[in-house]
Amino acid sequence: MTELPSADPAEQGRPPAGAARRLLLVHAHPDDESINNGATMARYAAEGARVTLVTCTLGERGEVIPPGLRHLTGAALGEHRLGELTAAARALGVEDVRLLGGPGRYGDSGMMGIPDNEDPDCFWQADLDEAAAHLVRVILEVRPQVVVAYDDNGGYGHPDHIQAHRVAMRAVDLAAQAGWSVPKVYWNRVPRTVAEDAFAGLGKALADLPFTAAATVGDVPGVVADERITTAIDGTAFAAAKTAAMRAHATQIEVAPDAPYFALSNELAQPLFTTEYYELVRGARGEERETDLFAGLAGTSGEETS
């Protein structure tokens, strides 16, 4: 049985000194944070909230896009992607970036159903409570009011994303036992009608893009019926920051020069969303359709001071 951390009894239930709003996001690989939550992270960081990003692996098995970087594999690729993550966080204004258990503690598991999934050092094979204990330590330190994670399918079925979901949800439960109950937990989402409209626009723009074909709505992680969306974060003002962060992940993402589209290693174009959507899965909704992840939480309105 993994020994779990616990808060100092004198500090249980108390927020840390500093920013009144504290947001923690859990992601599987470098680049996931910028694609899914780049505008959200940039907005809250600019408003003075403490934004903490926990990335679970270094993405050592990712497919590299630029030919000049395809010599990078394994640990060398992981080290390079850590540099990309650092640059992306800088573009978003995020200063608190953690690797779950420390850099290289959990290896990339590769896509579902391949032999790499059986590597005992990969994240997919990690003991759930042991991995969650690493995240509990971060939660007890930061004491976020909001945690953002993937759904139980990891958005699209990647083993590391599924495991990141399991670890995040388990850590939230264990942190509550150890002294900090996270008031609100969200899953990353995209409303189906928004995705469909964006792909319709992509179809018209494709001829002028540096991509030969388009992805489909089914290729976008976390697409659900519109009625499941509880929260929309307008990050339009931070589109440039999100785009810069995605470009920082040059091994994994190619962003169109002057249009809100990008492609991964499959070379299929897809929309770059600057309004980002969420489903509240734990906690009380602040309003019928939230425009703030901290909606309904006392003492978290307005700009913060550090």
* Angstrom distance (rounded) from CA 193 to CA 164: 27
Domain ranges of the chain: 22-279
Rounded average pLDDT per 10-residue block, the chain, 306 residues: 51 60 98 98 98 98 97 98 98 98 97 96 98 98 98 97 98 97 98 98 96 96 98 98 98 97 97 98 93 92 45
Distance of CA 48 to the CA centre of its chain: 19
Contact 39, 274 (CB under 8 A): yes
Per the annotation, binding residues for Zn(2+) are 29, 32, 161
Contact 202, 269 (CB under 8 A): yes
**pLDDT for residue 9:** 46
pTM value is 0.93
DSSP 8-class letter at 157:
-
Task: Return the residue matching tokens 């009144």.
Answer: 20
**pLDDT for residue 300:** 79
Query: If we measure between CA atoms, which residue out of 138, 146, 139, 134 comes closest to residue 49?
Result: 146
Contact 24, 144 (CB under 8 A): yes
Per the annotation, binding residues are 29, 32, 161
The hierarchical CATH code for the domain 22-279 is 3.40.50.10320
Which residue pairs from 285-292 have beta carbons closer than 8 angstroms and sit at least 24 positions apart in sequence? 285/230, 289/229, 289/230, 289/231, 289/232, 290/230, 290/231, 290/232, 291/231, 291/232, 291/233, 291/234, 292/231, 292/233
**pLDDT for residue 298:** 84
